Amino acid sequence: MENKKISTSEILSSGIKNENKTPLYNSDTLKKIRAGYDAIRASYENQPSGPGWEVTPHTILGSEIPRGLLYTPAQVSGLDYDDDIGFPGTEPFTRGVHRNMYRGKKFTIRQINGFGGPEDTNQRIKYMLEHGGTGISVIHDLPTTQMYDSDDPISKGQVGMSGVAIDSADDMEILFEDVPIDKITISLVTHYPSNTAILFPMYLAAAERRGIPFNVLKGSVQNDITLEEVVRSGPEYIPPKDCFRIQCDNIEFIKNNVPYFNFNTLNGYNLHEFGTSGVTEMAVALSNAIESLDEMIRRGYDIDWIAERLAFFWSISSDFFEEVSRIRAARRLWYKIMKYRFGAKSARAMWMRCHVQTSGISLVREEPLNNLIRASIQALSAVFAGVQSLHVDSYDEAYSVPTEEAALLSLRTQQIIQEETAVTEVVDPLGGSFYVEALTNEIEKRILDEIDEIEKVGGYVASIEKGWIHNRIANYFYREKELIDKGEIKFVGSNVYRAEDKKPAIEVFRYPEGVEERQKAKLAKLRLTRDNEKVSGSLGALEDACRKNVNIIPFSLECARVGCTVGEIFKVFKKSFGLWKPPVFW
């Protein structure tokens, strides 16, 4: 007998019994409002020229959801206060995961840092903390991200670029020297499951050397298969199923051993920025989260226990109300998935907690100071949406990594929102807006439809293996480029209102000199002074673990402790799992 798999949307619709507990509008009122709405719409549509009632906005990374001229209770006639909106800190969490939201705890000001060697980034981290940053986020350079050592021939000319160079646990120690990692939250932007399995153990080894126990460490890693197998361009990839296994090994190890660390930050950001709609961004991240949790249940873990450390990372682009509604929709949908698909009981397990970053791809080269305005508007929509943590892109990032001055302006943008505007005093200030509630409903429905689509392809890992997801993204961004070229997606100062003099009057960032040589010298010394028998022994044990059905992270932690390098550990993964060629659609 064919066993038909039930889709997530079917589970949710049978789980949710809309008892119409607290309907917002009665039918007589609605009838009257609908008549008024119909009359206005008819008179508008009778005008001979001009756009139709519904307009599809074209914005960078937008979802192209048509918008009417006006929203009234008639467009959200089914709203039930308890089922759809509720109170903050209670189901369905549409208004926010905490009861007091920003009055209880302000959003974390978490600017991303990373350039040069660990010595250079250490200085920038301290600078940001001295100026009021409340969290730290560290991004790694190209060789570290792609898991090669600084002295590998493939790394030539790229050490310390786009992030900080980390070759071993020694570098992790330098990176966080004099930074109170036992007190503040540290986000390690280890995009991929593979580099999370390599770099997070190095962070743990560095903490051990400082005598800091794992159970006081707080922060997050990314650990996302989407980043390793879909969004990345790189020379070598391991197969998706092995990558997914490492993702789950990271989750399992971190939850058991580093209990206050978010083991998985489902990264919609890089996917959205790579070129896809905000709806696909969320459908993909949620599908990945569902598949990880299924695997954790298979490994015998309790859903309420495991899910409480799941976090999300979204990109906030320029369609202001769409972005506010999107975050609200994802919060409500994730709650429904946790409650009805997984049977979660604890509130914490149902929370869609998120860090967000303003959109890098929306930054424009011409008249770069305009980017301050773009990022500020995006940041404000994130705050209206009730996010937990925020990074504001710097105005000079259309050229390079930000200068210290530009990074400070991003920090100040957040502080101005927090201290000068009073927007943080009231929870979910746009909740109840007919427009925002209608858009929240529509986006939630669209995300769920795309989750169903991914399930039909065979699940998230299968959608990667088959190239389905790669193809979907490519189709989006080819079309988006056409819309930009045609001027339908507008960039002020670039494809509209373009000024004659395009030279920017800004100083751009220059990478520090001599980083490659410095990293190479440290590596040469490390290779000489470490116990090389222990190194080969622990790499061998890691390889055995990779080939067996056991969690590999305790073994990569041992590798980190004895001084194995990033490249040496990645070599073990490549040898054990083999290589995979991801599809490219063009």
Partner 1 sequence: MPERKIKILLSKLGLDVHNRGVITVAKMLRDAGMEVIYLGNALPEEILNIALQEHVDAIGVSSLGGAHLTLGRDLIDLAVKEGIKNKTVFIIGGVFSIEDEDKLKEIGFDGVYTAVATRDEIVDSIRELTGNTRCLT
- In the complex, minimum distance from the CB of residue 396 to partner 1, in angstroms, rounded to a whole number: 9
Name the residue nearer to partner 1 (CB basis): 415 or 471: 471
By the 8 A CB rule, do 195 and 236 touch?
Answer: no
Query: Which 8-state DSSP code applies to residue 7?
Result: P
Number of residues that bind partner 1 (CB under 8 A): 43
Handedness of CA 231, 376, 493, 503 (dihedral sign): negative
Stretch that binds partner 1, among 130-138, 346-354, 480-488, 520-528 (CB under 8 A): 480-488
Q: Judged by CB under 8 A, does residue 511 bind partner 1?
A: yes
Spacing of C-alpha 62 from chain mean position: 17
Q: Judged by CB under 8 A, does residue 157 bind partner 1?
A: yes
Q: Judged by CB under 8 A, does residue 474 bind partner 1?
A: yes
196-202-205-207 Cα dihedral, nearest 10 degrees:
-80
- In the complex, minimum distance from the CB of residue 276 to partner 1, in angstroms, rounded to a whole number: 10
Stretch that binds partner 1, among 213-221, 362-370, 461-469, 550-558 (CB under 8 A): 362-370
Stretch that binds partner 1, among 47-55, 79-87, 335-343, 472-480 (CB under 8 A): 472-480
240-252-296-195 Cα dihedral, nearest 10 degrees:
-20
Name the residue nearer to partner 1 (CB basis): 107 or 274: 274
Name the residue nearer to partner 1 (CB basis): 227 or 439: 227
Which residues, 6 or more positions from 63, have their beta carbon under 8 angstroms from its beta carbon?
A: 277, 278, 279, 319, 322, 326, 443, 446
- Provide the terminal-to-terminal Cα distance of the chain, rounded to the nearest Å: 41
- In the complex, minimum distance from the CB of residue 160 to partner 1, in angstroms, rounded to a whole number: 9
Q: What 3-state class would DSSP assign to 8?
A: helix
- In the complex, minimum distance from the CB of residue 470 to partner 1, in angstroms, rounded to a whole number: 10
Stretch that binds partner 1, among 97-105, 332-340, 394-402, 407-415 (CB under 8 A): 394-402
Q: Judged by CB under 8 A, does residue 150 bind partner 1?
A: no
Provide the token pair at 367. 């008249």
Q: Judged by CB under 8 A, does residue 572 bind partner 1?
A: no
Reported for 127-134, long-range contacts at CB under 8 A and 24+ positions apart, including other chains, are 127/404, 127/408, 128/407, 128/411, 129/179, 129/184, 131/408, 131/411, 132/411, 132/415, 133/109, 133/411, 134/106, 134/108, 134/109, 134/110, 134/184
Name the residue nearer to partner 1 (CB basis): 87 or 476: 476
Stretch that binds partner 1, among 31-39, 258-266, 434-442, 501-509 (CB under 8 A): 501-509
CA-CA distance, 68 to 307, in Å (whole number)? 38
Which residues, 6 or more positions from 511, have their beta carbon under 8 angstroms from its beta carbon?
A: 115, 116, 160, 161, 401
Q: Judged by CB under 8 A, does residue 149 bind partner 1?
A: no
CA-CA distance, 195 to 221, in Å (whole number)? 10
- In the complex, minimum distance from the CB of residue 122 to partner 1, in angstroms, rounded to a whole number: 19
Q: Judged by CB under 8 A, does residue 401 bind partner 1?
A: yes
Q: Judged by CB under 8 A, does residue 494 bind partner 1?
A: yes
Q: Judged by CB under 8 A, does residue 158 bind partner 1?
A: yes
User: Locate tokens 């889709």: which residue?
Assistant: 7
Return left, alpha or beta for 114; rule: phi > 0 is left, psi -120 to 50 is alpha, else beta. Answer: left
- Of these, 5, 156, 456, 575, which contacts partner 1 (CB under 8 A)? 156
Q: Judged by CB under 8 A, does residue 366 bind partner 1?
A: yes
Q: Judged by CB under 8 A, does residue 429 bind partner 1?
A: no
- In the complex, minimum distance from the CB of residue 406 to partner 1, in angstroms, rounded to a whole number: 13
For residues 231 to 250, the per-residue mask of contacts with partner 1, x marking binding by CB under 8 A and - elsewhere, is xxxxx---------------
Query: Which 8-state DSSP code applies to residue 164?
Result: B
Q: Judged by CB under 8 A, does residue 155 bind partner 1?
A: yes
Stretch that binds partner 1, among 155-163, 253-261, 289-297, 337-345 (CB under 8 A): 155-163
- In the complex, minimum distance from the CB of residue 60 to partner 1, in angstroms, rounded to a whole number: 11
- In the complex, minimum distance from the CB of residue 483 to partner 1, in angstroms, rounded to a whole number: 11
Provide the token pair at 60. 């960078």
Amino acid, res. 342: F
DSSP 266-312: EE-HHHHHHH--HHHHHHHHHHHHHHHHHHHHHTT--HHHHHTTEEE
Cα atoms in the Cβ-side hemisphere of radius 13 Å centred on 122: 16
Stretch that binds partner 1, among 44-52, 145-153, 164-172, 449-457 (CB under 8 A): 145-153
- In the complex, minimum distance from the CB of residue 195 to partner 1, in angstroms, rounded to a whole number: 11
CA-CA distance, 10 to 8, in Å (whole number)? 5
Give contact residues for partner 1 (rule: CB under 8 A): 142-143, 145-146, 148, 153-158, 161-162, 231-235, 274-275, 364-366, 398-401, 474, 477-478, 481-482, 484-485, 494-495, 503-504, 508, 511, 584-586
